[in-house]
Amino acid sequence: MLLPMHPKPFENELLSSWVTRIALENGLYTHALYKSCLGLDSSIFIRDIDKFFVPNLVDSLEQSTGLTSDKIKKLMLTGFEGRITEKIIINSASRWILPLGIYHRTRKNKGVVYCPQCFAETPVKYYKRIWRLSFVVMCEKHLCLLRDCCPHCERPIDYQRLGIGKTQFETPSNDLGLCGSCTLPLWTNCSSEIPSEYIELTGAYLSFLKAFTLNQPCIPLLKQPMELQEFNGLWVLISSILRKHYFNSGVRANILKFTGIDIHSSTGTHVSFDQRPIEERFKILLAIFWILDKWPDRLLQLAGGTIYSKSAFKDLSESPPFWLNTVIHRHLDKTIYSATDDELLNIENYLMTHSIVPTTKTIALFANMNKGTCRDKLKTLR
Ligand SMILES: [Zn+2]
Ligand SMILES: [Zn+2]
Protein backbone atom coordinates (compact mmCIF):
# COMPACT_ATOMS: atom_id res chain seq x y z
CA MET A 1 0.00 0.00 0.00
CA LEU A 2 1.28 3.44 -0.90
CA LEU A 3 2.21 5.74 1.95
CA PRO A 4 0.30 9.06 2.02
CA MET A 5 3.54 10.93 1.33
CA HIS A 6 6.19 9.38 -0.88
CA PRO A 7 8.73 12.02 -1.92
CA LYS A 8 10.92 11.14 -4.89
CA PRO A 9 14.59 10.71 -4.13
CA PHE A 10 16.99 13.30 -5.50
CA GLU A 11 19.17 11.93 -8.27
CA ASN A 12 22.32 11.91 -6.13
CA GLU A 13 20.65 11.05 -2.82
CA LEU A 14 21.72 8.34 -0.43
CA LEU A 15 19.20 5.58 0.32
CA SER A 16 19.15 6.13 4.10
CA SER A 17 18.59 9.86 3.53
CA TRP A 18 15.60 9.20 1.30
CA VAL A 19 14.14 6.64 3.74
CA THR A 20 14.43 9.16 6.57
CA ARG A 21 12.73 11.85 4.47
CA ILE A 22 9.86 9.46 3.70
CA ALA A 23 9.43 8.81 7.42
CA LEU A 24 9.54 12.48 8.40
CA GLU A 25 7.18 13.59 5.61
CA ASN A 26 4.68 11.05 6.88
CA GLY A 27 5.02 12.49 10.37
CA LEU A 28 6.93 9.48 11.64
CA TYR A 29 10.35 8.79 13.00
CA THR A 30 12.45 6.27 11.06
CA HIS A 31 12.05 3.56 13.69
CA ALA A 32 8.27 3.86 13.48
CA LEU A 33 8.32 3.77 9.68
CA TYR A 34 10.44 0.63 9.69
CA LYS A 35 8.27 -1.12 12.23
CA SER A 36 4.72 -0.02 11.50
CA CYS A 37 4.75 0.70 7.76
CA LEU A 38 7.53 -1.39 6.29
CA GLY A 39 7.16 -4.38 8.62
CA LEU A 40 10.86 -4.56 9.49
CA ASP A 41 12.33 -5.55 12.84
CA SER A 42 14.86 -3.53 14.81
CA SER A 43 17.84 -5.41 13.33
CA ILE A 44 17.62 -2.89 10.48
CA PHE A 45 19.18 -0.34 12.84
CA ILE A 46 22.41 -2.26 13.14
CA ARG A 47 22.83 -2.36 9.36
CA ASP A 48 24.49 0.15 7.12
CA ILE A 49 21.59 0.05 4.66
CA ASP A 50 23.50 2.11 2.11
CA LYS A 51 26.01 -0.73 1.80
CA PHE A 52 24.05 -3.76 2.88
CA PHE A 53 21.25 -4.90 0.58
CA VAL A 54 18.18 -5.75 2.67
CA PRO A 55 15.67 -7.38 0.25
CA ASN A 56 12.71 -6.82 2.61
CA LEU A 57 13.50 -3.14 2.88
CA VAL A 58 13.75 -2.64 -0.88
CA ASP A 59 10.57 -4.68 -1.51
CA SER A 60 8.52 -2.80 1.05
CA LEU A 61 9.85 0.54 -0.16
CA GLU A 62 8.85 -0.40 -3.70
CA GLN A 63 5.32 -1.17 -2.52
CA SER A 64 4.96 1.87 -0.32
CA THR A 65 6.48 4.49 -2.64
CA GLY A 66 5.87 3.11 -6.14
CA LEU A 67 9.55 3.53 -7.04
CA THR A 68 11.00 0.46 -8.79
CA SER A 69 13.51 -1.66 -6.88
CA ASP A 70 16.12 -0.93 -9.56
CA LYS A 71 15.80 2.79 -8.92
CA ILE A 72 15.94 2.21 -5.17
CA LYS A 73 19.12 0.15 -5.49
CA LYS A 74 20.73 3.00 -7.41
CA LEU A 75 20.66 5.04 -4.19
CA MET A 76 22.99 2.56 -2.53
CA LEU A 77 26.76 2.79 -2.38
CA THR A 78 27.03 -0.43 -4.34
CA GLY A 79 26.42 1.80 -7.37
CA PHE A 80 30.09 2.83 -7.10
CA GLU A 81 31.29 -0.74 -7.65
CA GLY A 82 33.53 -1.02 -10.66
CA ARG A 83 34.37 2.67 -10.49
CA ILE A 84 36.21 3.25 -7.22
CA THR A 85 36.60 -0.33 -6.07
CA GLU A 86 35.89 -3.70 -7.55
CA LYS A 87 33.48 -4.75 -4.83
CA ILE A 88 31.99 -2.92 -1.87
CA ILE A 89 32.71 -5.01 1.21
CA ILE A 90 29.61 -5.35 3.33
CA ASN A 91 30.67 -6.52 6.75
CA SER A 92 33.96 -4.76 7.23
CA ALA A 93 35.96 -1.82 5.97
CA SER A 94 35.41 -1.11 2.30
CA ARG A 95 37.98 1.02 0.53
CA TRP A 96 36.97 4.68 -0.01
CA ILE A 97 33.75 4.24 1.99
CA LEU A 98 33.59 6.06 5.31
CA PRO A 99 32.93 3.49 8.04
CA LEU A 100 29.94 4.19 10.30
CA GLY A 101 31.26 2.08 13.15
CA ILE A 102 27.78 0.92 14.10
CA TYR A 103 27.83 -0.34 17.66
CA HIS A 104 24.45 -1.56 18.83
CA ARG A 105 22.34 1.29 17.50
CA THR A 106 24.85 4.08 17.74
CA ARG A 107 27.54 5.21 15.35
CA LYS A 108 31.03 5.55 16.70
CA ASN A 109 32.61 6.94 13.55
CA LYS A 110 32.15 10.12 11.63
CA GLY A 111 30.99 8.19 8.60
CA VAL A 112 28.69 10.77 7.01
CA VAL A 113 29.68 14.26 6.01
CA TYR A 114 27.66 17.22 4.72
CA CYS A 115 28.01 20.72 3.33
CA PRO A 116 26.74 23.39 5.77
CA GLN A 117 26.27 25.83 2.88
CA CYS A 118 24.18 23.37 0.85
CA PHE A 119 22.01 22.89 3.95
CA ALA A 120 21.75 26.62 4.60
CA GLU A 121 20.39 27.36 1.14
CA THR A 122 18.05 24.41 0.49
CA PRO A 123 14.63 24.09 2.09
CA VAL A 124 14.60 20.30 1.56
CA LYS A 125 17.77 18.93 3.04
CA TYR A 126 19.13 15.57 2.01
CA TYR A 127 22.41 13.66 2.06
CA LYS A 128 24.29 12.98 -1.14
CA ARG A 129 25.66 9.56 -1.97
CA ILE A 130 29.14 10.95 -2.51
CA TRP A 131 29.17 12.26 1.05
CA ARG A 132 29.93 8.73 2.22
CA LEU A 133 33.13 8.60 0.14
CA SER A 134 36.38 9.27 1.98
CA PHE A 135 37.94 11.21 -0.89
CA VAL A 136 35.06 13.69 -1.02
CA VAL A 137 36.09 16.41 1.43
CA MET A 138 34.95 19.59 -0.33
CA CYS A 139 31.69 20.81 -1.82
CA GLU A 140 32.31 21.49 -5.47
CA LYS A 141 29.44 23.96 -5.58
CA HIS A 142 30.40 26.09 -2.60
CA LEU A 143 34.13 25.35 -2.71
CA CYS A 144 34.08 24.84 1.03
CA LEU A 145 35.09 22.08 3.39
CA LEU A 146 32.53 19.45 4.29
CA ARG A 147 31.84 18.75 7.96
CA ASP A 148 31.87 15.36 9.63
CA CYS A 149 30.12 16.11 12.91
CA CYS A 150 27.59 18.36 14.56
CA PRO A 151 29.03 21.86 15.18
CA HIS A 152 27.10 22.07 18.46
CA CYS A 153 27.61 18.70 20.16
CA GLU A 154 30.43 17.28 17.98
CA ARG A 155 28.62 13.94 17.67
CA PRO A 156 28.74 11.98 14.39
CA ILE A 157 25.95 12.71 11.91
CA ASP A 158 23.11 10.23 12.34
CA TYR A 159 19.84 11.43 10.84
CA GLN A 160 18.31 7.98 11.25
CA ARG A 161 18.36 8.59 14.98
CA LEU A 162 16.17 11.67 14.78
CA GLY A 163 13.46 10.95 17.30
CA ILE A 164 15.02 7.92 18.95
CA GLY A 165 13.76 7.78 22.50
CA LYS A 166 10.54 9.59 21.61
CA THR A 167 7.26 7.79 21.20
CA GLN A 168 5.87 7.22 17.76
CA PHE A 169 2.98 9.55 18.57
CA GLU A 170 5.21 12.59 18.84
CA THR A 171 5.42 14.47 15.57
CA PRO A 172 8.98 14.95 14.41
CA SER A 173 10.24 18.11 12.78
CA ASN A 174 10.61 17.40 9.12
CA ASP A 175 14.24 18.38 8.69
CA LEU A 176 17.24 16.21 7.93
CA GLY A 177 19.50 19.12 8.61
CA LEU A 178 18.95 18.85 12.35
CA CYS A 179 21.45 16.97 14.48
CA GLY A 180 20.22 13.49 15.40
CA SER A 181 21.71 13.91 18.87
CA CYS A 182 21.10 17.51 19.98
CA THR A 183 18.49 18.47 17.30
CA LEU A 184 20.20 21.81 16.60
CA PRO A 185 20.66 22.93 12.95
CA LEU A 186 23.82 21.46 11.45
CA TRP A 187 24.42 24.46 9.20
CA THR A 188 24.81 27.04 11.95
CA ASN A 189 27.67 27.76 14.31
CA CYS A 190 30.34 26.55 11.91
CA SER A 191 32.74 27.89 9.36
CA SER A 192 33.53 25.71 6.40
CA GLU A 193 35.92 28.07 4.66
CA ILE A 194 39.15 26.69 3.26
CA PRO A 195 42.13 28.13 5.13
CA SER A 196 43.57 30.86 2.86
CA GLU A 197 47.01 29.23 2.63
CA TYR A 198 45.46 26.17 0.96
CA ILE A 199 43.13 27.84 -1.54
CA GLU A 200 45.66 27.83 -4.36
CA LEU A 201 46.32 24.13 -3.85
CA THR A 202 42.68 23.08 -4.17
CA GLY A 203 42.50 23.50 -7.97
CA ALA A 204 43.84 20.08 -8.94
CA TYR A 205 41.71 18.33 -6.33
CA LEU A 206 38.56 20.16 -7.41
CA SER A 207 39.11 19.22 -11.07
CA PHE A 208 39.32 15.60 -9.94
CA LEU A 209 36.15 15.92 -7.87
CA LYS A 210 34.26 17.58 -10.68
CA ALA A 211 35.30 14.89 -13.17
CA PHE A 212 34.22 12.22 -10.70
CA THR A 213 30.74 13.67 -10.26
CA LEU A 214 30.41 13.99 -14.04
CA ASN A 215 31.49 10.37 -14.51
CA GLN A 216 34.52 11.39 -16.52
CA PRO A 217 38.15 10.19 -16.24
CA CYS A 218 39.24 11.70 -12.94
CA ILE A 219 42.95 12.06 -13.60
CA PRO A 220 43.08 12.59 -17.39
CA LEU A 221 46.85 13.08 -17.37
CA LEU A 222 47.26 9.38 -16.66
CA LYS A 223 45.25 8.41 -19.76
CA GLN A 224 43.70 5.39 -18.07
CA PRO A 225 40.89 3.59 -19.88
CA MET A 226 39.19 2.69 -16.59
CA GLU A 227 38.46 4.78 -13.53
CA LEU A 228 39.18 1.75 -11.37
CA GLN A 229 42.84 1.86 -12.39
CA GLU A 230 43.05 5.49 -11.34
CA PHE A 231 41.46 4.80 -7.98
CA ASN A 232 43.49 1.65 -7.31
CA GLY A 233 46.68 3.58 -8.01
CA LEU A 234 45.52 6.51 -5.91
CA TRP A 235 44.95 4.17 -2.98
CA VAL A 236 48.36 2.55 -3.30
CA LEU A 237 50.05 5.93 -3.67
CA ILE A 238 48.34 7.35 -0.57
CA SER A 239 49.08 4.19 1.42
CA SER A 240 52.77 4.30 0.46
CA ILE A 241 53.12 7.94 1.45
CA LEU A 242 51.35 7.45 4.79
CA ARG A 243 53.49 4.47 5.78
CA LYS A 244 54.95 5.44 9.12
CA HIS A 245 58.53 4.49 8.30
CA TYR A 246 58.67 6.70 5.21
CA PHE A 247 56.27 9.39 6.34
CA ASN A 248 58.33 10.18 9.42
CA SER A 249 61.64 9.98 7.58
CA GLY A 250 61.37 12.91 5.28
CA VAL A 251 58.07 12.51 3.42
CA ARG A 252 56.05 14.63 5.84
CA ALA A 253 58.86 17.20 5.99
CA ASN A 254 59.11 17.38 2.19
CA ILE A 255 55.36 17.79 1.79
CA LEU A 256 55.57 20.70 4.22
CA LYS A 257 58.60 22.15 2.45
CA PHE A 258 57.14 22.02 -1.05
CA THR A 259 53.46 22.72 -0.40
CA GLY A 260 53.19 24.29 3.06
CA ILE A 261 50.86 21.47 4.09
CA ASP A 262 51.63 19.95 7.47
CA ILE A 263 49.96 16.56 7.73
CA HIS A 264 49.80 15.95 11.41
CA SER A 265 48.13 12.70 12.33
CA SER A 266 45.93 12.88 15.37
CA THR A 267 44.83 9.28 15.06
CA GLY A 268 48.23 7.67 14.69
CA THR A 269 50.13 6.84 11.54
CA HIS A 270 48.92 3.24 11.38
CA VAL A 271 45.35 4.30 10.63
CA SER A 272 44.07 3.90 7.08
CA PHE A 273 43.10 6.90 4.97
CA ASP A 274 39.36 6.19 5.33
CA GLN A 275 39.53 6.29 9.12
CA ARG A 276 41.26 9.63 9.41
CA PRO A 277 39.42 12.82 10.32
CA ILE A 278 38.19 14.94 7.43
CA GLU A 279 40.70 17.77 8.06
CA GLU A 280 43.51 15.26 7.72
CA ARG A 281 42.06 13.63 4.60
CA PHE A 282 41.73 17.10 3.09
CA LYS A 283 45.43 17.80 3.62
CA ILE A 284 46.49 14.38 2.34
CA LEU A 285 44.39 14.83 -0.81
CA LEU A 286 45.78 18.29 -1.48
CA ALA A 287 49.30 16.87 -1.24
CA ILE A 288 48.46 13.89 -3.46
CA PHE A 289 46.87 16.08 -6.14
CA TRP A 290 49.79 18.47 -5.97
CA ILE A 291 51.93 15.43 -6.85
CA LEU A 292 49.59 14.18 -9.58
CA ASP A 293 49.37 17.62 -11.14
CA LYS A 294 52.93 17.20 -12.43
CA TRP A 295 53.27 13.48 -12.67
CA PRO A 296 55.74 11.88 -12.07
CA ASP A 297 58.20 14.73 -11.51
CA ARG A 298 56.69 15.81 -8.22
CA LEU A 299 56.72 12.31 -6.79
CA LEU A 300 60.44 12.21 -7.46
CA GLN A 301 60.80 15.69 -5.97
CA LEU A 302 59.04 14.44 -2.85
CA ALA A 303 61.26 11.35 -2.68
CA GLY A 304 64.45 13.39 -2.98
CA GLY A 305 66.61 13.29 0.13
CA THR A 306 64.31 10.77 1.82
CA ILE A 307 64.23 7.00 2.10
CA TYR A 308 60.92 6.90 0.17
CA SER A 309 61.54 4.46 -2.65
CA LYS A 310 60.31 1.28 -4.32
CA SER A 311 60.29 -0.44 -0.94
CA ALA A 312 57.49 1.87 0.25
CA PHE A 313 55.20 -0.07 -2.10
CA LYS A 314 56.21 -3.50 -0.81
CA ASP A 315 53.74 -5.60 1.18
CA LEU A 316 50.84 -3.23 0.61
CA SER A 317 47.49 -4.97 0.27
CA GLU A 318 47.81 -4.91 -3.50
CA SER A 319 50.30 -4.23 -6.22
CA PRO A 320 50.24 -0.89 -8.01
CA PRO A 321 48.51 -0.58 -11.39
CA PHE A 322 50.65 -0.19 -14.48
CA TRP A 323 50.73 3.65 -14.54
CA LEU A 324 52.21 3.72 -11.06
CA ASN A 325 54.32 0.60 -11.37
CA THR A 326 56.32 1.93 -14.30
CA VAL A 327 57.21 5.07 -12.35
CA ILE A 328 58.19 3.06 -9.28
CA HIS A 329 60.48 0.78 -11.27
CA ARG A 330 61.92 3.43 -13.50
CA HIS A 331 62.48 6.17 -10.96
CA LEU A 332 62.14 4.94 -7.41
CA ASP A 333 64.33 1.88 -7.43
CA LYS A 334 67.14 3.21 -5.29
CA THR A 335 68.85 -0.17 -5.14
CA ILE A 336 69.82 0.17 -8.76
CA TYR A 337 69.79 3.91 -9.08
CA SER A 338 73.27 5.21 -9.19
CA ALA A 339 74.48 8.77 -9.34
CA THR A 340 77.33 9.40 -11.77
CA ASP A 341 80.93 9.79 -10.54
CA ASP A 342 80.73 13.53 -11.22
CA GLU A 343 77.48 13.87 -9.27
CA LEU A 344 79.01 12.11 -6.27
CA LEU A 345 82.13 14.30 -6.35
CA ASN A 346 79.94 17.40 -6.64
CA ILE A 347 77.91 16.31 -3.63
CA GLU A 348 81.09 15.69 -1.64
CA ASN A 349 82.39 19.16 -2.51
CA TYR A 350 79.06 20.74 -1.74
CA LEU A 351 78.92 19.13 1.69
CA MET A 352 82.46 20.21 2.56
CA THR A 353 81.88 23.81 1.49
CA HIS A 354 78.81 23.80 3.72
CA SER A 355 80.79 22.39 6.67
CA ILE A 356 78.95 19.07 6.59
CA VAL A 357 81.06 15.93 7.06
CA PRO A 358 80.70 13.96 3.81
CA THR A 359 79.96 10.56 5.30
CA THR A 360 78.67 7.75 3.07
CA LYS A 361 75.25 8.13 4.68
CA THR A 362 75.02 11.86 3.98
CA ILE A 363 76.28 11.49 0.41
CA ALA A 364 73.81 8.65 -0.24
CA LEU A 365 71.01 10.79 1.12
CA PHE A 366 71.88 13.73 -1.11
CA ALA A 367 72.37 11.44 -4.12
CA ASN A 368 69.07 9.70 -3.43
CA MET A 369 70.93 6.37 -3.47
CA ASN A 370 70.98 3.18 -1.50
CA LYS A 371 73.74 3.45 1.14
CA GLY A 372 75.46 0.18 0.20
CA THR A 373 75.56 1.01 -3.48
CA CYS A 374 76.89 4.46 -2.64
CA ARG A 375 79.63 3.04 -0.41
CA ASP A 376 80.81 0.68 -3.19
CA LYS A 377 80.85 3.51 -5.69
CA LEU A 378 82.77 5.84 -3.39
CA LYS A 379 85.38 3.09 -2.78
CA THR A 380 86.14 2.86 -6.48
CA LEU A 381 86.28 6.62 -6.73
CA ARG A 382 88.76 7.18 -3.90
ZN1 LIG B 1 27.64 22.92 -0.74
ZN1 LIG C 1 24.37 17.96 17.79
Percent of the chain with pLDDT over 70: 94
Centre of ligand 2 to C-alpha 147, Å, is 12
Centre of ligand 1 to C-alpha 114, Å, is 8
* pLDDT tens readout for residues 62-74: 999 999 999 999 9
Q: Would you state the pLDDT for residue 163?
A: 62
- Ligand with minimal distance to 183 CA: 2
Centre of ligand 1 to C-alpha 206, Å, is 13
163 or 339: whose pLDDT is higher?
Answer: 339
pLDDT band at 119 (very low <50, low <70, confident <90, very high): very high
Centre of ligand 1 to C-alpha 325, Å, is 36
Q: Would you state the pLDDT for residue 347?
A: 86
The rounded mean pLDDT for the chain is 89
* pLDDT tens readout for residues 126-167: 999 999 999 999 999 999 999 999 999 999 998 887 766 555
If you average pLDDT over residues 82-95, what whole number do you get?
Answer: 92
Compute the distance between CA of residue 244 and CA of residue 151 in angstroms, rounded to an integer. Answer: 31
DSSP state of 138: E
Centre of ligand 2 to C-alpha 335, Å, is 53
Q: Would you state the pLDDT for residue 337?
A: 57
**169 Cβ partners below 8 Å, 6+ apart?**
none
159 or 103: whose pLDDT is higher?
Answer: 159
Centre of ligand 2 to C-alpha 158, Å, is 10
If you average pLDDT over residues 311-335, what whole number do you get?
Answer: 89
Long-range contacts, stretch 184-188, CB < 8 angstroms, 24+ apart: 184/150, 184/152, 184/153, 185/119, 186/114, 186/116, 186/119, 186/147, 186/150, 186/151, 186/157, 187/116, 187/117, 187/119, 187/120, 188/116, 188/120, 188/151
- Ligand with minimal distance to 178 CA: 2
Q: Would you state the pLDDT for residue 186?
A: 96
- Ligand with minimal distance to 189 CA: 2
Other Cβ atoms less than 10 A from the Cβ of 359: the count is 11
- Ligand with minimal distance to 136 CA: 1
Centre of ligand 2 to C-alpha 249, Å, is 39
| pLDDT exceeds 70 at position 105 | no
Q: Would you state the pLDDT for residue 340?
A: 76
- Ligand with minimal distance to 115 CA: 1
Percent of the chain with pLDDT over 90: 60
pLDDT band at 268 (very low <50, low <70, confident <90, very high): low
291 or 46: whose pLDDT is higher?
Answer: 291
Closest CA to 200 of 260, 113, 279: 260
Centre of ligand 2 to C-alpha 190, Å, is 12
pTM: 0.85
Locate the domains of the chain by residue range.
Answer: 15-161, 196-331, 341-381
Number of residues that this document lists for the chain: 382
Weakest mean pLDDT among 8-12, 166-170, 207-211: 166-170
- Ligand with minimal distance to 190 CA: 2
- Ligand with minimal distance to 146 CA: 1
